[in-house]
Structure 1
């Protein structure tokens, strides 16, 4: 087993659980859709978290040759993937049928979810810059997909108008397929 396989056995497990938590919440909502209105904000937040978890997984693969097997790397990976699991579990309520409308749940948890995802991305950026000191931060692609993430997410955290939050989520979600297509 390589060092990367050892490190990623833990991180991959937690990232997979984060995806399962989000998908499980969505499945519970769909099953209860005759009693509960899901709403666009909650659905978009779940999609955003899922896209970000997948992109984090991809970054882990891209860094596989550079990640040293060490306590700080293993513990840091545990903390970040643990944050992803927690924020994914906050997107949908545990007891769906106790909610009439998920918009109230969304308003209660969106800031925590978005802040957790932003924290993970800030840590990922710091690790990327440490491992790839010549990362082209000034390129148009980096500005568009990396640097735009933080102000858009911050705006979604502080905005009071749900339409602004939904617009930010749509922009953030759009960056994932756009980034994948732009290689």
Structure 2
């Protein structure tokens, strides 16, 4: 087994836990739908996050050619998967109480944590490129990261529902564009 295959096991477990968190929470909401006040915004963020998980998994295949693994290099990738997991942990409710749950109220309570973890994920992603490659990523990737940083910061700071809705729709389009431009082929 090569070094990356060995290291990828733990990364895969964390990504798998995050996917499980998202899918389990979604299933829970469906099962208890009679006690859930649905609102599309948190569900869209969960869908965006699901797409990000798939993109991260897809892009990690490119790390297989990295040959000089160090403990700090592994830790920074581990940190990125950990912040992704934490985003999944806060975006949808952990449980549905007998009294019910309002998805928008839940998201409003968790919004700062969600966008804080989102911001951390993006910053770690840029730092990961520097640590693994000794330089910043290409200009296109950096431009997308800058958009994600700006969106995360404003999501963190601006509470207005209408703004949050526009932000989520913009993020959805930008993530799809990002994947279409940079990640259509494996490796």
**Both structures adopt the same fold (TM-score exceeding 0.5):** yes
Residues paired across the two proteins, number: 180
Q: Give 1:134 shift.
A: 6.4
Partner residue in 1 for 2:138: 136
| Within-5 A mapping of 1:2-151 | 2-66=2-66, 68-98=68-98, 99-130=100-131, 131=133, 133=135, 135-137=137-139, 139=140, 142-143=142-143, 145-151=144-150
CA distance in 2, matches of 1:67, 1:34: 52
Q: What's the CA shift string for 1:15-55, capped at 9, x where partnerless?
A: 11101101110110111112212211210221222222222
Pick closer, same or farther for the CA change 1:67–1:28 going to 2, 3 Å: farther
Alignment TM-score, normalising by the size of structure 2: 0.85
Q: Give 1:64 shift.
A: 2.4
Alignment TM-score, normalising by the size of structure 1: 0.87
Partner residue in 2 for 1:161: 160
Are the equivalent residues in 2 in contact too, given 1:25–1:94 (CA < 8 A)? yes
Quote the RMSD (CA, aligned, Å).
2.0
Pick closer, same or farther for the CA change 1:10–1:91 going to 2, 3 Å: same
Pick closer, same or farther for the CA change 1:182–1:8 going to 2, 3 Å: same
CA distance in 2, matches of 1:13, 1:70: 20
Q: What's the CA shift string for 1:129-148, capped at 9, x where partnerless?
A: 341626332x4x742x2221
Are the equivalent residues in 2 in contact too, given 1:32–1:96 (CA < 8 A)? yes
